[in-house]
Structure 1
């Protein structure tokens, strides 16, 4: 076994998630004079499959999409990103988080255990815009050029989620969870990320029990 991933118990992450939502609400109030936004959980957070490595020092993370309402395009991608980053930075310390880290696709905040100097939990915020044609754009930060632009996001695999929903309805979801965790623990390919392991697991279990 390469790793020692475990699922984070709901009773442990739920209070942290609720506190995170209070922080997001504060930011919504802060930026209201510029624009409004809604938010959704994505990835493992949305699937309730949050994991962490037991002997690791990076805790577990939440993934959130911030859906900005700027239909008239009054603000540039850089202005939106900076408005949100500054708003988060004004409130994060109230909730025990460090200031935002600005990476290519997301703004990241981390909650650090001051005694052990380890990350307890973190959250990645992608700033997105929902296009009328069902597609989605996100603000991409080009560090080399120091520029911010809207780029189209890779479309979600609707067929995969239909398979996942079928497996839930038929009572096979615990098997999905077990196999997914096993795949994470045995994964030795640094280029194979959680979303790929999840897709692989869903397809594998669906083929075992599905009708096609």
Structure 2
């Protein structure tokens, strides 16, 4: 069993403001190449950030970086490297580790080295919105190649159910059930977004049927 709890808005806000400052500085740094907008997504957007007090992993933020390159002047790898290098130069001044690479995101971590623990981290996905949907820069860790890849579209029906549950006063119930699901989850392949979707569907079914 895990020991997840919610990170209060008061606790998360100073770190979020710091990340916004870092991103703003990155925007200035790369402006001679391209501009971009950014959006906090997932639990960062929903104010549902969680952490397990029994671990040293801290909590995380998720940010989409949408690059303005409609004329495709830059290859995906160029875009990723420009942003990666700028993040490394700027974030280190705030005590963050260099970017870590994964298939979908670049990750910076604020580490308490004395306690060998992560205070918090931030995952950056580089995205592009087009009429067919949203793409992200996918990184192949073996070949080091980068390419645009389509990602799953938002579930509009899920978003509708969220709106209804909030308007009808059932959101605290959603928060409680989601936290229980995270703490009782034994499937390492079942991620937070899946548990969130399950929670919304179950709460909606309970109160409004199909």
Please give the range of the TM-score, normalised by the shorter of the 2 chains: over 0.9
CA distance, structure 2, for counterparts of residue 132 and residue 28 of structure 1:
25
Give the whole-Å Cα distance in 2 for the aligned partners of 1:93 and 1:142. 25
SS of 2:181's equivalent in the other structure is helix
2:141 counterpart (123, 130, 143): 143
Structure 2, unaligned runs of 5 or more: none
State the distance in 2 between where 1:57 and 1:126 align: 24
The runs of at least 4 aligned residues of structure 1 exceeding 3 Å deviation read: none
The aligned residue for residue 131 of structure 1 is 130
Aligned to 1:109: 108
- Aligned partner (choices 184, 201, 204) of residue 203 of structure 1: 201
**What does residue range 8-157 of structure 1 map to in structure 2 within 5 Å?**
8-133=7-132, 135-157=133-155
Superposed CA deviations along residues 19-50 of structure 1, whole A, max 9, x for unmatched, are: 10000000000000000000011111111100
RMSD (Å) for aligned C-alpha atoms? 0.8
Q: Distance in 1 between matches of 2:134 and 2:155?
A: 13
The structural deviation recorded for 1:211 is 5.3
- Number of residue pairs matched by the alignment: 210
2:174 aligned residue = 176
- Structure 1 stretch 4-13 or stretch 202-211: which is displaced more? 202-211
Q: Which runs of 5+ in 1 are unaligned?
A: none
TM-score norm. by structure 1 comes to 0.97
Q: Output the CA distance in 1 between the equivalents of 2:101 and 2:84.
A: 8
Separation in structure 1 between the aligned mates of residue 111 and residue 69 of structure 2, nearest angstrom: 34
Question: Deviation at 1:140?
Answer: 0.3
Question: 2: distance between equivalents of 1:199 and 1:41?
Answer: 18
The one-character-per-residue Cα deviations of 1:142-162 (angstroms, maximum 9, x if unpaired) are 112220000001111111011
